[in-house]
Structures are given as C-alpha cells and as structure tokens.
Amino acid sequence: MAVIDIKNVTKKFGDNTVLNNITLELNDEISAILGPSGSGKSTMLRCINGLEPIQQGDILVDGVSVKTRSNLRRIRKTCGMVFQQFNLFPNLDVIQNVTLSPIKILGQKRASAEKHAHSLLEKVGLLEKARHYPAQLSGGQQQRVAIARALAMNPKILLLDEVTSALDPEMTADVLKILESLAGEGTTMIMVTHEISFARRVSKRILFIDQGSIAADMPTDAFFSVDDQRIQKFLQHVG
C-alpha cells in the first residue's frame, strides 16, 4: 500500500481550479515536487494533511481518508509538516516548542519528551539554544527548530513546503545539510523546493506540477535528461 494515495483529486478556491484531477501514489522514499510559482504545490501538500479540504476525489494517508474530518488528527500525526515561514510558537521557548505536542497529544512524560527533544536539537545543532525564544533566533535557526518540532511527533512522513525559501544562502545550506542527513537515515520526505541541485542530489523521484496538473512524474535521473520543452524552460528559469 502506498503511504499516500491521491485519487482523482480536484481542489478549487471558488471558481479557481488549483489542483485538476490529480492521481498519484507516494511511497516510502524521497520525492521532490517542482513547478512554477502558483502551480499548486503548497496546496497539494496542504490537501494531504487536510489543512485544505478537497472538492473531488480522495486522499488516503496510510489508508486513512482525509475526507472524514475525524480522521484528520490521526493523519496529521502521520504527516509532519514544515512551513516556509517556520511558524514557531513565539510565546514558547525552543524546548517547549518541541515538547508541547508530544506531551499534549502523544501523552509523553515531560522527562522523556525533553530527552527526545534534546537529541533532536542536537541533531539540528541547536542544543545550546534550548532556552531561547524564537525571536532570539535567526531564520535558519528557527527553521531547524521547526524541523525538530515536526520530528518530535515521530511522523512517518515529513511534508516540507519550500523550507529554505525565506532563508539566505548560508542558512539555506545549514537547513539542507540537516535534511540530507535525515534523508540518509531513511526519513520519508515529500518536499516542495526551488533548490534544484538539492532535489537532484537527495530525491529518488521528481513530480513536476504545472497549472494544477502533474506534468511529469519520473525518477530523478530521467527527469533531468528528459527532452521536454516545459521542463527545460522551468529548469533554465530557476537556475
């Protein structure tokens, strides 16, 4: 069974069709979603964890449908999500950001949640910032905390929506290094990114979305050698 099974999904905002009859299966691997701005990449990720409702079709996450509202919390425990703008909780310090949900939702004991948080913060290189507040951190550091926060819930899948787009090149490198090491550990990731060379290096599969449709879905090597006008133009455009 596919980890995520997207079946004939159509998503509209009013009259604007943003995802147009998409069907695809995502498995235990690393997939990159590429495509021009406004093509529906973020919307697709948001439909997968039910932050956006879909109008037609169905999405099954680990066999559970997003169309039943009472399934959503379960689906969101399966899919961790990291956003472009980090979205840390500003009133909580780093360790609280990371431990809040494991304690409140998974029912972990504070001590064990903090122990896990420490190992995650060590992994993202921010153990010494555990007692800092988000406002005291750089964008790159905040995003690394956001990754630790998502991982603290032990998700099966990590949804990453342009997690380096708001960062300068140096911070981008820090964050990509962490994602690459997660990839090395076998974490399933579905990432929307404009970091083409990164996508090429770590992902097994590329999905190219254009105007709400899957314009290409192929193994990474094939994608970068395919003779397709639209893809060539996109690749030239993003560098």
Partner 1 sequence: MDGSQFFFTEKATELSYQDLIFMLNAAGTTLAATLFSLLIGTLLGFILGMITTFKIPVLNKLPYIFIEPLRNSPLVVQLFLLFYGLPMLTKINFSKWQAAFITLGCNTAAFIAVIVHASVAAIPQHQWESAYALGHSYASSFTHIIFGQAFRIFIPPALNIYISQLHTSSLLSFIGFMEITHAG
Query: Contacting partner 1 (CB under 8 A), which of 13, 38, 105, 112?
Result: 105
Helices (H), the chain: 41-48, 72-78, 94-104, 110-123, 139-151, 169-184, 196-202, 220-225, 229-238
Which one-letter DSSP state was computed for residue 69? G
* Cα three-residue angle 204-159-120, rounded to 5 degrees: 100
Which of ligand ADP, Mg ion, partner 1, none lies near 10, with the C-beta cut-off 5 to 8 A by kind?
none
Q: What's the one-letter identity of residue 230?
A: R
- Residue 105 CB, nearest distance to partner 1 (Å)? 5
Instruction: Name which of residues 191 to 210 contact partner 1 (CB under 8 A).
Output: none
Distance, CA of 224 to CA of 201 (rounded, Å) = 11
Q: How far is CA 122 from the centre of its chain?
A: 21
Position 13 contacts partner 1 (CB under 8 A):
no
Q: Are 235 and 216 in contact (CB under 8 A)?
A: no
52, two tokens? 């956006």
Which of Mg ion, ligand ADP, partner 1, none lies near 134, with the C-beta cut-off 5 to 8 A by kind?
none
Which of ligand ADP, partner 1, Mg ion, none lies near 140, with the C-beta cut-off 5 to 8 A by kind?
none
Nearer to ligand ADP, 114 or 162 (CB): 162
Q: Calculate the dihedral angle through the C-alpha atoms of 82, 44, 11, 46, rounding to the nearest 10 degrees.
A: -10
Instruction: Name which of residues 35 to 64 contact ligand ADP (CB under 6 A).
Output: 35, 37-43
Phi, psi of 185 (to 5 degrees): -85, 0
Which of ligand ADP, Mg ion, partner 1, none lies near 24, with the C-beta cut-off 5 to 8 A by kind?
none
Interaction pattern, residues 7-36, with ligand ADP; x per rule: CB under 6 A: ------x----x----------------x-
Query: Contacting partner 1 (CB under 8 A), which of 101, 141, 142, 193?
Result: 101
Which one-letter DSSP state was computed for residue 31? E
Which of ligand ADP, partner 1, Mg ion, none lies near 87, with the C-beta cut-off 5 to 8 A by kind?
partner 1
Position 199 contacts ligand ADP (CB under 6 A):
no
- Size, binding site for Mg ion by CB under 5 A: 1
Distance, CA of 181 to CA of 199 (rounded, Å) = 14
- Which residues here bind partner 1, judged by CB under 8 A? 49, 51, 72-73, 76-77, 79-81, 83, 85, 87-92, 100-101, 104-105, 149-150, 153
